Amino acid sequence: MEMLQQLHLAAQYLAAAGISFLDKKEDDSHTNLGFSITQNRLETWPLDTYDTKLCLNYEAFALEWSGKEVPSFPLHDKSHAQVLDWIASTAKEVGLTKSYHFHLHYDLPYSHDADTCYSLSGADAIGKLIQLRVLAQNSIDAFLRQEELSSEIRIWPHHFDTGAFSSLNDGSGKSVGLGMAIPDTVVNDLYFYISGYRGHNALNTWAFKSLTHGKWINDGFKGAVLPASGMNEKIVVQFFSEALNAYKS
């Protein structure tokens, strides 16, 4: 299994922690994750008043508890059942009073096979995925600041995309959703995307001028996409900005 798929599956342990230990929110945001660009890891929201978080360290390919003296848990050669046992037992060690349960309310394109162990098959692949998560985080942050838009930048465990959402400040009633998605039927690569909305309805893009980088799509998904391979922050921010200007016009 590719490293991206393994990380996607491993991120579900963090989502399940949000479900187990946090109050449910209607938009499911209690399950979404942050990405620390200083520690190269996914992190849950704080799970208690002591800022305890369950984390997935990309570089170490391991689960860990933030700020706790519990040893990290390398995923290589570990089964799904072994991971669940470790989380359940160490959750009590770090002081969490509720029990950890692995119950997801959505389906993934692949599943946790009880007989299959995680495998760190390539440090190079991990390194590239770290670079892309950092690029996404920094580019979205730079774009939001440049355009004076406000949004948290979070990773949604179901689709495993880094995403942000903000209403425009121009009185138009429009909003934009943007981020970096993993390969799917829209683009066979990790890719940046941006879509415009009025209410819950996606705005058509067929009349927009071509972008310097990336392209518009108006069939199924409505928005602009840019394959992430070989991109840098300047190009990604330009892509988001040009698309935003089209939505504003």
**Percentage of the residues of the chain whose pLDDT score is greater than 70:** 100
For residues 60 and 157, membership in a common domain is answered with: no
User: Between 249 and 205, whose confidence is greater?
Assistant: 205
- The arithmetic mean of pLDDT across residues 123-133, rounded, is 94
Position 10 confidence tier, pLDDT thresholds 50, 70, 90: very high
Task: Record the pTM.
Answer: 0.93
Q: Which of 85, 102, 121 is the last residue of a domain?
A: 121
142 located within any domain: no
Q: How many domains does the chain have?
A: 2
138 located within any domain: no
Q: What is the pLDDT of residues 149-175, one digit of tens each?
A: 999 999 999 999 999 999 998 888 899
Exposure string of 172-196, with b = 16+ CB inside 10 Å and e = fewer, is: eebbbbbbbbbeeeebeebbbbbbb
d(CA 61, CA 99): 24
Q: Is the pLDDT of residue 19 over 70?
A: yes
For residues 108 and 163, membership in a common domain is answered with: no
210 located within any domain: yes
Position 27 confidence tier, pLDDT thresholds 50, 70, 90: confident
Q: Within 10 A of 102 (CB to CB), how many other CB atoms are there?
A: 17
Note whether 66 and 44 are within 8 A (CB): no
Range of the domain at 235: 149-248
Q: What is the pLDDT of residues 87-125, one digit of tens each?
A: 999 999 999 999 999 999 888 888 888 778 999 987 799
- Burial class (CB within 10 angstroms; exposed 0-12, middle 13-18, buried 19+) of 115: exposed
The pLDDT, as a whole number, for residue 72 is 96
- Which residue from 28, 27, 26, 33 is spatially nearest to 11, judged by alpha carbons? 33
Q: What is the dihedral of CA 129, 130, 132, 133, to 10 degrees?
A: 120
- The arithmetic mean of pLDDT across residues 169-198, rounded, is 94
Q: Is the pLDDT of residue 182 over 90?
A: yes
d(CA 54, CA 91): 9
For residues 100 and 155, membership in a common domain is answered with: no
Q: Angle between the 3-21 and 80-93 helix axes, to the nearest 10 degrees?
A: 40
The pLDDT, as a whole number, for residue 224 is 98
Position 33 confidence tier, pLDDT thresholds 50, 70, 90: very high
For residues 182 and 93, membership in a common domain is answered with: no
For residues 173 and 71, membership in a common domain is answered with: no
d(CA 37, CA 43): 11
Position 29 confidence tier, pLDDT thresholds 50, 70, 90: confident
The pLDDT, as a whole number, for residue 205 is 96
Note whether 54 and 95 are within 8 A (CB): no
The pLDDT, as a whole number, for residue 115 is 78
